[in-house]
Amino acid sequence: MATFPFSASNDWSKNGVWSTQSNWNPWATPVPMEQRYSFGTGNFVVEETYKRYQPQTVTVNDNIIVDSKYQMPNSDRHKERSIKEIEHKSKDEHLREKRFMGLPITSESSFGGRFGSASPFFIEIKKYLNLEPTDLFSKNSATIPVLVEKVAQGIIEEGKQIGKERKAEKMAAILREKKREGMEEVWKQCVYLYTSKNFLYKALNATMKLVGDKEQENTWRSKVPTLGPFCFLLLNNPFNKELTKNKKIYRSANVEPEQIVQYEEMAKNKSSYQSFKVYTSCTRNRKKAKALGNTLFIMEVLDGFIMDISPYSKYPEEEEELITPGVCLRVKSVAFNQKKNRYLINLELRQKLTVFDKIPKPIAQATKPKKHIFFAYAEEDESDASAAEKLKKYFVQRRLRVYHPRQNEDINTIIANGIENAAIVLVFPSPSLQISKDGSKLLNYADQTKTPILTIKICEDFQPVD
């Protein structure tokens, strides 16, 4: 069957409908209009075969050429008929099941560590990229093309490994076109690719789920050069570095009875917080979410690094909110709505625990006596540095020993003197702390040695009470 190239609008934020007269000789006999939908195809080529009244083969000699707004047969370029392009809302208003359906967790063992961005996967990514603590690509325009090139090369190599090299080369070309236009434009393209129907979303999340499984360690480590740079780029949102607060987002799933029991058990532990270790897609639109599956997850975001990627998504109508690795989750309640015949599972999301929550006990007692409170914060974040100084003075006045990294102090010295003898690590969360190599190493070491970690967020007008 002969086919012809059919190009849709280059504006990726819009979906197009191409309307044509479907008979081959429209100048003789009028026929009903036929519409063909092309969902945000961008520069990708969509191959179609023109139909007459019934499905049929179009010979090569009578192949149709789409030239701008006109449609012409090869055999007679003097004959042409207009093609009308109409902007429209997506014909499929529902959410994509593969992206917005699925359990956030299946059991407590399905969670990642306390710090998603300091997980072994992120640490290895930073080593591969040769990142320094101050290497924040959104602030350093000179390093952006270097990062984009590594991302592009990784995508192409991943495509080769799974037999999708041609698709991967097109995706890499899209990113490379923007590498000189600043981090904002690069990140927009990154989001567009992540939300598109390609292998990136599936491959990246499947890889991140393997982290922590000793039997799969070689597998996920092998993906650091191919998927790692893209994973890091997606995390580095240049438009918003603030925590998302006071928002509700939704996700659906088909949940089995035994899985409901697991969630009910988790809801009994009111102080149990674990963190996501993969990017998780949710929506702001409850109506669309509840149309899928037999269970609706209602996620109340107290605070957390959750990105609204809908403005740059290939499918903006999905109203997607992307939960980043490291956001904590607690099961609040599980209820069954008999009228709707579905389960409603309420979850609470926050970046870390606050000073008002119960301090977790270490799993194993350390052999060395604990002597001080360790402060972990990024000095370049003025608000956190100021708040940390206030709290440090508060503890010192009460004769509690406080340790925080000194200027130009080596990370290994900080760990030896600070973490080894710490009773608890107080963390002031910020992207610059968790993205930096030293910050990740410090937090990961504290997590591995079972030193209690408590993340705190202090208001600007905080004043210690005597």
Q: 211 is written with which tokens?
A: 């982290």
CB crowding 287-321: b at 16 or more within 10 Å, else e = ebbbebbebbbbbebbbbbbbbbbebbbbbbbbbb
Residue predicted with more confidence, 70 or 142: 142
**Higher confidence at residue 123 or residue 318?**
318
The tens digit of pLDDT for each residue in 15-44 reads 444 444 444 454 443 434 433 433 343 333
Whether the per-residue pLDDT at 246 is higher than 70: the answer is yes
pLDDT value of residue 375: 76
pLDDT: is 93 or 121 the higher one?
121
Domain 97-104+241-350 is of which CATH architecture? Answer: Alpha-Beta Complex (3.90)
pTM over cut 0.85: no
- The boundaries of every CATH 3.40.50.10140 domain in the chain are 372-455
> Which of 147-151, 309-313, 417-421 is predicted least confidently?
417-421
Residue type at 40 in one-letter notation = G
Second CATH level (architecture) for the domain 372-455: 3-Layer(aba) Sandwich (3.40)
The answer on pLDDT for 57 being more than 50 is: no
How many helices and strands (H and E) does the chain possess?
A: 14, 20
- In sign, the C-alpha dihedral spanning 305, 311, 314, 316 is positive
Q: What pLDDT, in 10s, does the model give residues 181-230?
A: 999 999 999 999 999 999 999 999 999 989 888 899 999 999 999 999 99
Q: Which two tokens stand for residue 171?
A: 């995706």
pLDDT score at 4 = 37
Which range among 269-273, 388-392, 393-397, 405-409 has the greatest average pLDDT? 269-273
Mean pLDDT of the chain: 73
**Ramachandran area for residue 47 (φ above 0: left; ψ -120 to 50: alpha; else beta):** beta
Task: Find the angle CA(353)-CA(220)-CA(244) to the nearest 5 degrees.
Answer: 30
- The sheet that has 33-38: what strands, in order across it? 33-38, 15-21, 84-88
Residue ranges of the chain that CATH labels 3.90.176.10: 97-104+241-350
